[in-house]
């Protein structure tokens, strides 16, 4: 369910008119840093980065390579998955070669009054026990509110 919700949020964000875009600029790290500047010049505080796992891998490998001398003072914390002091979400719901930088409170995931519900079946059928089955249903209703389109930057991470 988590991946479906993440995919829906990114689809909704990309379909919102007025979000900012950033073209590739010399390196992935430079491009991501330029995204932060775009948010700052529009008056927003950066909140998080969303990247495909392959793009996050490229960032981390660039930072630990022998050529990373230029990045020695870059604020990067691999243990907590942070870059430029912001949390990084690595998700396969994000397209490879594309990243999103979200300002604080720019995008909200909405739910109904029930949120996420889990229901268990109290009465099983004859084969559940022999097949080691437990029947449950997990569901939720989700929506995406892009409260500040200028607080979102979609960036191209491909050269």
Write the CATH number for 67.
3.30.2320.10
14: in domain: yes
Kindly state the helix (H) or strand (E) to which residue 49 belongs, with its residue range: strand 46-51
- Taking only the tens of pLDDT, the chain with its 159 residues reads 788 899 999 999 999 999 999 999 988 989 999 999 999 999 999 999 999 999 999 888 887 775 655 555 677 777 889 998 899 999 999 999 999 999 999 999 998 888 888 887 767 677 777 777 777 888 888 999 999 999 999 999 998
Max distance between CA atoms of the chain, in angstroms, equals 65
Residue 6's pLDDT is 92
- Does the residue 20 lie in any domain? yes
| pLDDT attached to residue 63 | 79
- Whether residue 100 is contained in a domain is answered as yes
Domains held by the chain: number = 1
Domain-embedded: residue 18 = yes
Q: What is the pTM of this model?
A: 0.80
Give residue 118's pLDDT. Answer: 85
Contact 24, 159 (CB under 8 A): yes
Instruction: Count Cβ atoms below 10 Å from residue 153 Cβ, excluding itself.
Output: 27
Can you give the pLDDT at residue 62? 81
The reply to whether 138 falls in a domain is: no
Of 153, 151, 109, 97, the C-alpha closest to 7 is 109
Instruction: Look at residue 131 and tell me if it is in a domain.
Output: no
Hey, how many other C-beta atoms are within 10 angstroms of the C-beta on 36? 21
Residues spanned by the domain of 28: 2-109+150-156
Residue 67 confidence (pLDDT): 61
Residue 122 falls inside a structural domain? no
Specify if 70 maps to a domain.
yes
Per-residue burial over 86-119, b if 16 or more Cβ lie within 10 Å, else e, is bebbbbebbeebbbbbbbeebbeeeeeeeeeeee
Q: At what angle do helices 28-41 and 53-64 cross, to 10 degrees?
A: 110
Residue 115 pLDDT: 80
The pLDDT assigned to 138 comes to 83
As a whole number of angstroms, the distance between CA 91 and CA 54 comes to 9
């Amino acid at each position: 369910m988590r991946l479906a919700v993440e995919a829906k949020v990114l689809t909704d964000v990309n379909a919102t008119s007025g979000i900012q875009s950033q073209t590739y600029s010399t390196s992935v790290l430079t491009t991501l840093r330029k995204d932060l500047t775009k948010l700052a010049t529009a008056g927003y505080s950066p909140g998080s980065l969303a990247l495909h796992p392959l793009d996050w891998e490229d960032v981390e490998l660039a930072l630990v390579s022998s050529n990373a001398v230029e990045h020695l003072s870059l604020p990067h914390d691999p243990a907590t998955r942070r870059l430029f002091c912001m949390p990084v979400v690595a998700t396969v719901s994000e397209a490879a070669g594309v990243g999103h930088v979200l300002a604080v409170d720019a995008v909200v995931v909405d739910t109904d009054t029930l949120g996420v519900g889990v229901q268990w079946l109290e009465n099983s059928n004859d084969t559940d026990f022999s097949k080691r089955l437990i029947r449950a249903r997990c569901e939720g209703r989700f929506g995406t509110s892009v409260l500040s389109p200028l607080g979102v930057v979609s960036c191209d991470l491909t050269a």
